[in-house]
Amino acid sequence: MTPPFSSDTSVMRYEETNLASLTQYPFRFECGMQLLCISGNSIISTGVERYDFCETSELIFLGGSLIQVIDPSPDFKVRMLLFPKNIFLKASLPIDTSYFNYMSEVPYFNHAANDASRESWKRVNQWMDMAELLFTHPARYFREQLEQNFLQSLFMWIFNTIPQQYLSIHNKYSRKQTLYHRFMVLLREHSTQEHQIGYYANRLCITPRYLNEAVIRYSNGRTPKQLIDEQLTAELKVQLSNPNLSITEISQLFNFQEPANMCRFFKKNTGMSPKEFRSLNKL
């Protein structure tokens, strides 16, 4: 069963949902997204990363992300804003990229920490109220300008409300800690196409050995290759859950030279072949 979401969107969209369709299978959103948990709790998995998502929690993925909802409570519900990449790129132009780097590396925030955070929770829900008003039904006139202005103003407001102590802690990260976080961002965005450590080391302008040292230190002993394989396996499950794609088509989408290579990889990491996975999930 394919979730009732599009992987991308051409317009900004607001929804209030329990994300029930994301509990059985992971799903990849190519568009940017902001999630607020307004009741209950769950685990939100992006593949190799997991977040305890409870009331007053917020997640923002600027470049899209794989999402799976794990063990949601019966009353779990979120407010969700989806935004197209082209609108994000236009909205972000006048804003210092260091803030977007911080948001990409630290996508999770809980607004229950103190009085100031609880006040920011009230305010961010007011932004969601405005998103509901503007984007539940696309505007007939000035749609793109409305979307760009709203998103730009939202980001500017968010950056002004990020507690200074969080930015201070982030700015004091060691070089290896910063590289680890940047590796995780790259992994979330490129794991479907890039399966080798060398690609990520080159993007970070370091050696594979140095990347290995940084990741092992800050990922509870897991190596970059282990994380790449875990994320790639999760991404493969997304596409294998789509009955409209053949095994051959999926192997091509994921940059495997041959379908057999993908099948061997998937079986090594899950204990079953892609066909067995599909059969188990009745696709």
Q: Count other Cβ atoms within 10 Å, centred on residue 45.
A: 19
**Cα separations (Å) of 151 from 1, 74, 101, 156?**
32, 31, 17, 9
Residue pointed to by tokens 């209030």: 16
Q: Answer for the pair 242, 180: CB distance below 8 angstroms, yes or no.
A: no
Distance CA 11, CA 144 (A): 8
pLDDT at 122: 93
Answer yes or no: is pLDDT of 167 > 90: no
Which DSSP letter does residue 198 get?
H
Lowest-confidence region among 47-51, 98-102, 150-154, 237-241: 98-102
Strands 77-83 and 13-17: antiparallel
pLDDT at 81: 97
In the chain, the domains with their CATH numbers are: 13-94+108-162 (2.60.120.280), 175-280 (1.10.10.60)
- Helix axis angle, 224-240 to 175-190, nearest 10°: 20
pLDDT at 140: 84
pLDDT at 95: 84
pTM of the model: 0.82
pLDDT at 267: 96
Answer yes or no: is pLDDT of 249 > 60: yes
User: Mean pLDDT, to the nearest integer, of 234-242?
Assistant: 90
Distance CA 266, CA 198 (A): 21
